[in-house]
Structure formats: structure tokens, C-alpha cells
Amino acid sequence: MGAIPWGAMAPVGPDWDLTGFSAWLGGRAAATRTAYRSDVRAFAQWMARGDVHRPEEVDRLHLRRYLASLGTRRLARATVARKAAALRCYFSWLTRQGRLEADPARALRAPSGGGRLPRVLSAGEIDALLDVPGEGALDRRDAAVLELLYAAGLRVSELCGLDRGDVDRRARTVTVLGKGGKQRRVPVHDTAVAALSAWLEGGRDDMAGPSEAVFVNQRGSRLGPRDVRRIIDRRAASPTHPHALRHTYATHLLDGGADLRVVQELLGHASLATTQVYTHVSKERLRAVYEETHPRA
């Protein structure tokens, strides 16, 4: 079979068994499964352009060249790191299946995703998002969404997946299903509970959608990540990613003296190293305050 021209989209043959790989990833978050399958598919298409059509034909040099090619496309380092993780996971799976004698992706390295510090919203930006008057059902929903994202540091997927039974307003907690299917219970403050109550008691039943879902959209479906992005876009004075509220939550906790391991548990991070990025954010904030306020700085 001849090599496929570089401008063409190469098909992915059954030898790559993306269906089997996706099924094996069943215990991971839906977003992770989708991303990993897409990443492996893109790699298989790239390999096909070089006349390599089976994973058994891939060696470590192929993988290194692929990651290098991603670097020339100016992708974010976090994106390249995720693609490398997907390939390590995929080839590890093939090795465990007995299809490979040796794992070519073992110890495959890519730039870490920590090149950019996460953005932390200012007090004014938080107020602009949260302190918006409104009495309609959508206003109450939007207020509850944003209050909960900032009060509990939830991932957007965790918020969208909330069911009514996951919210305990009396105990002031929400129970979420995080990455890897890990469940955790997160405390929330009174203002967030009040916003949730206003929505659940004065708006939620006016909107169609799955009866168990806490948040729904106007199309009668469970609220999705794009819906959350639109909510923020309507309220934010400048472009703001929903994940910025999670970054701000973690940084504000550390600024207030919270223990790093406590913040790790609240965020649902498997590794403390993931949480430690917020200590760098806090140091940057402290330096900024120092330079702005010290007379001789």
C-alpha cells in the first residue's frame, strides 16, 4: 500500500481497535474517554501518511517524531501532554492485551501542562459574575451555577452531572463524581445554598428536562459545558473560561491559609503535585501585592 499524501485525511483501520480501547477506558470520565480516543485516532492518521497502518509497526522514534510535529503546530503544552498521556495509555493497553512484546510509549515524555499559570479572577470580576440582579428562572439558574462553581471549585462536568440527590442543603454539601469515577463531598457556603434554593424552589420546575438533573437548559436537556460557557460570556466583562472559577477558588483558599492537602481533597486531585501549581499562583499574587503597595518596592 502506498503512502497517503500529506494533505489527505487518512482512514483508521480496525487494527487500531479504537472501539476496544474506548471500552477499556470505561471507568474514566466521559470527556477523558472522548479526548483519548480522538488523540489516538489523530496519531493513527498521522502514521498512515507515513505508510504505517498497524500499532504493532509503531516504534519509539515514531512517537517522538509525532510529539515533535505537534510542537511545530504551536499547541498548548497542556494539550501535547494530554496527547502523550493518551498514547502511553493506549500502548500500555495493547501490551497488556498481549498484542505487543514491548511498549514503545513507556516513559514517553512530553512538556508538562504547567507552562502557564492559571488565571485568577479579581474581586471585581467575581462580583461582576455573581452580583447580577434578576428574578426569572434563567436568572436564578445562572446565579446558582456561578455561585456553585466558585463556592465548591467544581469542574464544569461535575456541575453539569449533578442530580438533586447530590445536593444536601441542610448539611451545606454537594456530592460530585470526579475524574476516574471518584466521588467526593464538598462543602458550600450559605450564599451558594441560598442561590441553589432560589433556583430549585423558584425556577427549576418551570423548565423542562430530566427530573433528577439539578441544572437544565432551555432545550429541555441537562445543562452542558457550552451552556455554562454562554452563561459566563453573558456576565463577564472580559473573556473568562469556566475553569477560571475553579482556579480562583483554590487560590483564594490557599491565600486564606488553607492546608495544601485539604485543597487537594476539595478539588479531587489524585496527585498533590497537581494542586501545587496554586502555590505558585499565590506567590505571584503576593509578589504583585507587595510591589504595588510597598513604598520602596
**Region for residue 153 given its phi and psi (left: phi exceeds 0; alpha: psi -120 to 50; beta: otherwise):** left
Domain 14-96 has CATH 1.10.3470: no
The catalytic residues are: 155, 179, 243, 246, 269, 278
Model pLDDT, residue 121: 86
Model pLDDT, residue 95: 95
Model pLDDT, residue 8: 41
CATH superfamily placement of domain 123-292: Intergrase catalytic core (1.10.443.10)
Q: Is 269 helix (H, G, I), strand (E, B) or coil?
A: coil
Model pLDDT, residue 10: 55
Model pLDDT, residue 215: 96
Q: What is the distance between the alpha carbons of residues 22 and 294, in angstroms, rounded to a whole number?
A: 55
Model pLDDT, residue 287: 67
Q: Is 174 helix (H, G, I), strand (E, B) or coil?
A: strand
**Region for residue 287 given its phi and psi (left: phi exceeds 0; alpha: psi -120 to 50; beta: otherwise):** alpha
According to DSSP, residue 213 is labeled B
H or E segment to which residue 249 belongs: helix 243-255
Model pLDDT, residue 282: 67
Model pLDDT, residue 288: 65
Model pLDDT, residue 1: 41
Least Cα distance to 144 among 252, 170, 241, 154 occurs for: 154
Model pLDDT, residue 132: 78
Q: Please name the residues in contact with 94: beta carbons below 8 A apart, sequence gap of 6 or more.
A: 55, 100, 103
Model pLDDT, residue 284: 63
pLDDT along the chain (297 residues), means of 10: 43 88 88 92 91 92 87 76 92 94 86 58 85 84 94 93 94 90 91 94 90 94 92 84 89 85 88 77 64 65
Model pLDDT, residue 5: 41
Question: 137-152 and 243-255 helices cross at what angle (nearest 10)?
Answer: 50
Alpha-helical regions (H) of 50-136: 60-72, 77-96, 123-130
How far is residue 115 from each of residues 17, 35, 78, 81, 289, measured CA to CA in Å? 33, 21, 8, 11, 22
User: Which sequence spans correspond to the domains of the chain?
Assistant: 14-96, 123-292
Q: What is the distance between the alpha carbons of residues 85 and 97, in angstroms, rounded to a whole number?
A: 18
